[in-house]
Structure 1
Amino acid sequence: MHHDNWQCPKCHHEQFEVGEFRATGGRLAKMFDVQNKKFSTVTCSHCSYTEIYRSSSSTLGNVFDIFLGG
């Protein structure tokens, strides 16, 4: 994916991939209160630098609207 408003903070590449994952179980998850939490990711297509954002299922679009100027 490419958008003029996003640029990798590490290598300044403008292409990226978006994704999501859920964190469940384990002591660290309980300690940091991320058990069963949903996260959205933006990963640079060039260097693989990844930014992670905690989100709800309806927030994924909002996260990308902020970064893509929507």
Structure 2
Amino acid sequence: MDKGCIKCGSKDAAQKEVAMTGTGLSKIFDLQHNQFIVIYCKNCGYSEFYNKQSSTGSNILDLFFG
């Protein structure tokens, strides 16, 4: 069975790193300490976020394709 994007089946994916604010004081002061790796399908745009600190030891693209 071929694996790919769970929405469209495409195997064309890419990744980006993003940072986001949290709640409370970090939101008020725009402190973007929440870091994620985003894996997205280049065909349909479906995206999954992975916590950067807890997922550094594994291949994130393999997780996206299940």
Aligned to 2:40: 43
Percent sequence identity over matched residues? 29
Query: In proportion to residue count, which structure has more helix?
Result: 1
Q: TM-score, normalised by structure 2?
A: 0.64
Runs of 5+ unmatched residues, structure 1: none
Paired residues, number: 57
Runs of 5+ unmatched residues, structure 2: 25-31
**Could you say which structure has the larger radius of gyration?**
2
Q: Tell me the CA shift for residue 55 of structure 1.
A: 1.6
- Retained in 2: the 8 A contact 1:39–1:53? yes
Aligned to 1:54: 51
1:26-67 deviation per Cα after TM superposition (whole angstroms, max 9, x unaligned): xxx226xxx5111001110100111111122971x5242752
The higher relative CO (CA closer than 8 Å, separation ≥ 6) is in 2
Q: Tell me the CA shift for residue 18 of structure 1.
A: 0.7
Aligned to 1:22: 19
